[in-house]
C-alpha cells in the first residue's frame, strides 16, 4: 500500500508542476562560454556582454545595423516536460521584448517529433510574441504534446522575463536595471 501511495503522490506532483526529468535524464547544463556562443550564432550580432541575474542569464547583442536586444536560454527560466522530456531553446528578443528568433538547443523529447516540428516551421510561429504574454500557437500534427510543451516553455520564459525587462536600460556599454533589488552579475566571456 505505501508503494502505491508513493506512485500516486508522484503522479499528482507531475500533474501540478508539469515538469519532471525524463526517466532520470536531464538537460545538459549549458556553460557560460557555450551560452555566449549560442547568443553569437543566433543573434547574428556582436554579444556586447552577458549577465546573470536571479531569474537567469541574458546576453546583450548589437548587430552592425544597430539592432539590439537580448538572447536567453529557456532552460534557465523553465523546464516543461514534453512527450518524453523538456526542450531547451534559445530566444532572441529585440529591445522591445518581441521574439525575433527561436531555435532548439537540446531536447529530451522524441527526436523525430522535434525534427517534425522544426521542419514544419513551428518555431517561426513565435516571432513577434512579446515578453509578459502567453503564446498560443497551433500544434504540429503527430507531435502535439511536444509542440504544446514548447509553446508553454516559450510562454513561461516570456512571463519570467517581464519583471527583468521592465527595468532594463540599454546602453553602448551594456545593460542596467532601474530596480536596485535586481542585480546583474557580468558573465566572463
| CA angle, residues 60, 64, 70, in degrees to nearest 5 | 20
Q: What is the pLDDT of residue 24?
A: 54
- DSSP-assigned letters across all residues of 98-150: BEEEEEEEEESS-HHHHHHHHHTTGGGGGTT-BTT--------TT-HHHHHHH
Per-residue model confidence as pLDDT tens digits over 51-72: 988 889 999 999 899 889 999 9
Q: What parts of the chain have a pLDDT lower than 50?
A: 1-23
Q: What is the pLDDT of residue 15?
A: 31
Q: What is the pLDDT of residue 60?
A: 92
Alpha helices by DSSP H, the chain: 2-17, 32-43, 111-119, 144-167
Angle between helix 144-167 and 111-119 (nearest 10) = 70
Signed CA dihedral, 108, 111, 112, 118: sign only: positive
Q: Helix (H, G, I), strand (E, B), or coil: what is residue 45? A: coil
Give the C-alpha separation, 35 to 123, whole Å: 20
Show me where the domains of the chain are located: 19-186
Give the C-alpha separation, 145 to 107, whole Å: 13
Strand partners, 81: 86
Indicate the DSSP class of residue 75: G
Per-residue model confidence as pLDDT tens digits over 134-159: 998 888 888 899 999 999 999 999 99
Amino acid at each position: 500500500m505505501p508503494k502505491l501511495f508513493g506512485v500516486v503522490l508522484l503522479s499528482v506532483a507531475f500533474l501540478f508542476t508539469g515538469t519532471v526529468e525524463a526517466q532520470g535524464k536531464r538537460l545538459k547544463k549549458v556553460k557560460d562560454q557555450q551560452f555566449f556562443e549560442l547568443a553569437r550564432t543566433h543573434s547574428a550580432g556582436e554579444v556586447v556582454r552577458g549577465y546573470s541575474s536571479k531569474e537567469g542569464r541574458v546576453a546583450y547583442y548589437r548587430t552592425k545595423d544597430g539592432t539590439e536586444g537580448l538572447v536567453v536560454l529557456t532552460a534557465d527560466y523553465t523546464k516543461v516536460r514534453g512527450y518524453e522530456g523538456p526542450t531547451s531553446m534559445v530566444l532572441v528578443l529585440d529591445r522591445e521584448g518581441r521574439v525575433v528568433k527561436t531555435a532548439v538547443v537540446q531536447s529530451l523529447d522524441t527526436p523525430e517529433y522535434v525534427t517534425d516540428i522544426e521542419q514544419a516551421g513551428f518555431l517561426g510561429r513565435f516571432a513577434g510574441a512579446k515578453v509578459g504574454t502567453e503564446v498560443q500557437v497551433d500544434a504540429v500534427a503527430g507531435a502535439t504534446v511536444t509542440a504544446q510543451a514548447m509553446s508553454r516553455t516559450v510562454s513561461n520564459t516570456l512571463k519570467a522575463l517581464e519583471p527583468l525587462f521592465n527595468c532594463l536600460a540599454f546602453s553602448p556599454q551594456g545593460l542596467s536595471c532601474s530596480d536596485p533589488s535586481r542585480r546583474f552579475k557580468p558573465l566572463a566571456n
